[in-house]
């Protein structure tokens, strides 16, 4: 799993160049939301380009849904503005914004059929019946549910209901598509299928999208950019690989994926060296980073390899635990008191070390950094 040298991983199939040329479409400027005495969102700043898929990622209570609802108009910011296509929509009522919203609980109207649900927004806009029929058919083929047009929500599965909700939001040709944890209520397998569907549809229609989730895998696999939030603050904004490989705060580093934080001594920042459990280790000092009071070495478990390698750091330690997780084998190794997790890809012919064995693991200098 270790890489010889840092490889530039292309982020999405989408042409990065075309996104960069896109104009800024949705701007959230210094938005703060306070409920009573609790600060839900603090100074949120973001510029989203047209056609971009942005994900708000964080655990419950971090403010991601509140921010989304402010874009939709269901909450009003305590301060700050929301601009859409150059227009200040901060105080506009929700039924005038023309943003499409998909709710976690689908929120399909139970008294209407699939066709009527999808056509609702058009009906409200007094569009002619023939045009509505046309649009509804178009939407149904987009989500592949043509034969369900006359069914009622209770007759559909969760995944089907959510697709209808998506079609309903898209039918009005909104300027922005907002999704509030749309997959949380669904089974794991449906979740994976449906999120690919959502991305496919988004790319097909080119609609600017904001996707709120607490699931890292969803955010990492779907978004062009991710906004990691914690307790009302934005921790970091970046592409998935930026967030993963170059986390700027400790929160982001430990929230996304697994991370080893190992205590080190004798830190030499200029040359990028320190000692870990008495052994010398070189780290990536190319980027200026704030280092805390007690410096720690940050390295992802997948960066380790067995044995020694030319030019790589080497650590010697005793195996404390071996966990077979299927595709990955996770080892807990004790290096003079510091416990590190090492993830190795499973190989059929591999013989696993046993608890108590002394092993050597290596990793390149650029795979770790100081926090």
Partner 1 sequence: MSSKPDSKPVENKRDAPQARSALSVWRDWLGVAPFILFAILFILLPSLSLLFGSFQDSKGNFTFQNFMDLFTPDIMGAYWVTIRISLVTALGGGLLGFMMAYGVTVGGLPRWVRSGLSTFSGVASNFAGVPLAFAFIFTLGRVGMVTLLLKSLGVDLYDKGFSLYSFWGLSFTYMYFQFPLMVLTITPALDGLRREWREAAENLGATNTEYWLKVALPILTPSILGTMILLFGNAFGAYATALSLTGGFINLITILIGSQIKGDVLHNPGLGYALAMGMVIVMAVMMTIYYFLRRRSERWLKQ
Of residues 163-182, those binding partner 1 (CB under 8 A): 165, 168-169, 172
Of residues 186-205, those binding partner 1 (CB under 8 A): 186-188, 191
Q: Site for partner 1 (CB under 8 A): which residue of 51, 63, 115, 121?
A: 121
Nearest to 99 by CA among 24, 193, 39, 180: 180
Q: Give the x-and-dash track for 71-100 against partner 1 (CB under 8 A).
A: -xxx------------------xxxx-xxx
Q: How many CA atoms lie within 13 A of 46 on its CB side?
A: 31
The piece of 161-169, 222-230, 256-264, 279-287 that touches partner 1 (CB under 8 A) is 161-169
DSSP-assigned beta bridge partners for residue 346: none
Nearest residue (CB) to partner 1, 191 versus 282: 191
Distance CA 249, CA 252 (A): 5
Q: Site for partner 1 (CB under 8 A): which residue of 26, 48, 82, 101?
A: 101
H/E stretch holding 313: strand 313-324
Nearest residue (CB) to partner 1, 23 versus 36: 36
Give the nearest distance from C-beta 97 to partner 1 in angstroms. 8
Q: How many CA atoms lie within 13 A of 290 on its CB side?
A: 5
Q: Is 125 in the site for partner 1 (CB under 8 A)?
A: yes
Q: Strand 176-180 relative to strand 208-213: parallel, antiparallel, unpaired?
A: parallel
User: 209 phi and psi, to 5 degrees?
Assistant: -135, 140
Dihedral sign, CA of 54, 122, 131, 165? Answer: positive
Nearest residue (CB) to partner 1, 112 versus 360: 112
Distance CA 309, CA 323 (A): 24
Contacts of 272 (CB under 8 A, 6+ apart): 282, 283, 284, 285, 365
Structure token pair of residue 44? 């949120």
Nearest residue (CB) to partner 1, 41 versus 68: 68
The beta strands (E) that lie in 50-170 are given as: 53-57, 79-84, 87-88, 99-102
Nearest residue (CB) to partner 1, 217 versus 265: 217
Give the nearest distance from C-beta 177 to partner 1 in angstroms. 11
The piece of 38-46, 153-161, 296-304, 342-350 that touches partner 1 (CB under 8 A) is 153-161
Nearest residue (CB) to partner 1, 125 versus 144: 125
Give the nearest distance from C-beta 186 to partner 1 in angstroms. 6
Nearest to 186 by CA among 166, 210, 209: 166
Q: Site for partner 1 (CB under 8 A): which residue of 17, 60, 111, 271?
A: 111
Nearest residue (CB) to partner 1, 26 versus 264: 26
Using CB under 8 A as the criterion, which residues of the chain lie in contact with partner 1 when the complex forms?
72-74, 93-96, 98-101, 103, 105, 107-112, 120-121, 123-125, 152-154, 158, 165, 168-169, 172, 184-188, 191, 215
């Amino acid at each position: 799993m270790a890489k010889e040298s840092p490889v530039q991983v292309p982020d999405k199939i989408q042409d990065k160049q075309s996104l960069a040329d896109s104009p800024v479409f949705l701007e959230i400027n210094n938005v703060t939301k306070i409920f009573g005495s609790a600060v839900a969102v603090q100074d949120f700043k973001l510029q989203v380009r047209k056609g971009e898929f942005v994900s708000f990622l964080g655990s419950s209570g971090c403010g991601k849904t509140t921010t989304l609802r402010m874009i939709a108009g269901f909450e009003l910011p305590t301060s700050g503005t929301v601009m859409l296509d150059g227009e200040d929509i901060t105080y506009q009522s929700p039924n005038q914004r023309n943003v499409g919203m998909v709710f976690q609980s689908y929120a399909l109207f139970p008294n209407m059929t699939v066709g009527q649900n999808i056509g609702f927004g058009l009906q409200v806009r007094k569009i002619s019946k023939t045009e509505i029929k046309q649009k509804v058919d178009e939407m149904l083929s987009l989500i592949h549910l043509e034969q369900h047009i006359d069914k009622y929500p209770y007759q559909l599965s969760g995944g089907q209901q959510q697709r209808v909700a998506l079609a309903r939001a898209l039918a009005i040709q909104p300027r922005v598509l907002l999704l509030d944890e749309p997959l949380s209520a669904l089974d794991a397998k449906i979740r994976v299928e449906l999120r690919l569907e959502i991305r496919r549809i988004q790319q097909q229609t080119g609609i600017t999208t904001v996707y709120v989730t607490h699931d890292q895998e969803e955010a990492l696999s779907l978004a062009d950019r991710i906004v990691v939030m914690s307790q009302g603050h934005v921790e970091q904004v970046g592409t998935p690989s930026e967030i993963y490989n170059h986390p700027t705060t400790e929160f982001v580093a430990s929230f996304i994926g697994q991370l080893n934080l190992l205590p080190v001594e004798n830190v030499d920042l200029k040359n990028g060296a320190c000692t870990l459990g008495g052994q010398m280790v070189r780290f990536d000092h190319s980027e200026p980073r704030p280092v805390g009071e007690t410096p720690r070495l940050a390295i992802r478990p997948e960066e380790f390899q067995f044995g020694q390698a030319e030019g790589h750091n080497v650590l010697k330690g005793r195996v404390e635990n071996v966990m077979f997780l299927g595709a990955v084998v996770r080892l807990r190794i004790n290096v003079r008191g510091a416990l590190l997790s090492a993830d190795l890809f499973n190989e059929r012919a591999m013989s696993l070390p046993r608890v108590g064995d002394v092993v050597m693991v290596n990793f390149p200098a650029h795979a770790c950094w100081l926090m």
